[in-house]
């Protein structure tokens, strides 16, 4: 009786562990994003895994990027958004920057290729 319960517990424990998986990109961003200040851009990044991976964006030196009001937004779904902006609001560190998407859960993490973002006036 007890050994049966223990066996079942072990079996369920192993099965639960088998259900976890490291992040795999569903949408990996492209290597290059050129966008116009009048349109802005949305850079998509999503990954699946169990537990559901967290998506963060980092610079090529590994430091995380955050929101810059009106210029850059990191959405909860993992997308990186560059709204349209006026010429005088151009900021090189935001608008001409190499970004990397990082997907992470308790099993592991994956990072995207470098995403070279460049905004211009075309
Ligand atoms: C984009 O830049 C051009 C040139 O500086 C400017 O005329 C235009 O208003 C800007 N677009 C927006 C949405 O601010």
In a domain, 3, yes or no: no
Domain that holds residue 77: 21-120
In a domain, 2, yes or no: no
Q: Whose CA is nearest to atom 13 of ligand 1?
A: 38
In a domain, 37, yes or no: yes
Q: Give the chain's domain count.
A: 1
In a domain, 11, yes or no: no
Residue 48: which of 31, 76, 27, 17 has the closest Cα? 27
Q: Provide the pLDDT for residue 70.
A: 97
Q: Whose CA is nearest to atom 11 of ligand 1?
A: 38
Q: Provide the pLDDT for residue 14.
A: 54
Mean pLDDT of the chain: 90
In a domain, 13, yes or no: no
In a domain, 12, yes or no: no
Tell me the average pLDDT across 69-74. 98
Q: Is the pLDDT of residue 26 over 90?
A: yes
Mutation probe of ligand 1 site: the residue of 86, 90, 120 with most atoms within 8 A of C-beta: 86
The Cα–Cα gap between 49 and 106 comes to: 10
In a domain, 36, yes or no: yes
* Domain CATH code at residue 91: 2.60.40.10
CA of 86 to the centre of ligand 1 (A): 5
The Cα–Cα gap between 31 and 79 comes to: 15
> Which range is least confidently modeled, 3-7, 35-39, 76-80?
3-7
In a domain, 10, yes or no: no
- The binding-site residues of ligand 1, defined as CB within 6 angstroms of any ligand atom, are 37-38, 84, 86-87, 121
């Amino acid at each position: 009786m007890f050994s049966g319960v223990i066996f079942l517990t072990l079996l369920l424990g192993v099965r639960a562990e088998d259900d976890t998986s490291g992040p795999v990109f569903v949408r990996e961003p492209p290597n290059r994003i050129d966008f116009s200040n009048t349109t802005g851009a949305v850079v998509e990044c999503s990954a699946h895994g169990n537990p559901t991976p967290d998506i963060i964006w980092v610079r090529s030196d590994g430091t995380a990027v955050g929101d810059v009001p009106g210029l850059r937004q990191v959405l909860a779904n993992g997308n990186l958004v560059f709204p349209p902006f006026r010429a005088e609001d151009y900021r090189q560190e935001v608008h001409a920057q190499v970004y990397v998407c990082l997907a992470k859960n308790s099993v592991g993490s994956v990072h995207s290729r470098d995403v070279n973002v460049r905004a211009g006036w075309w």
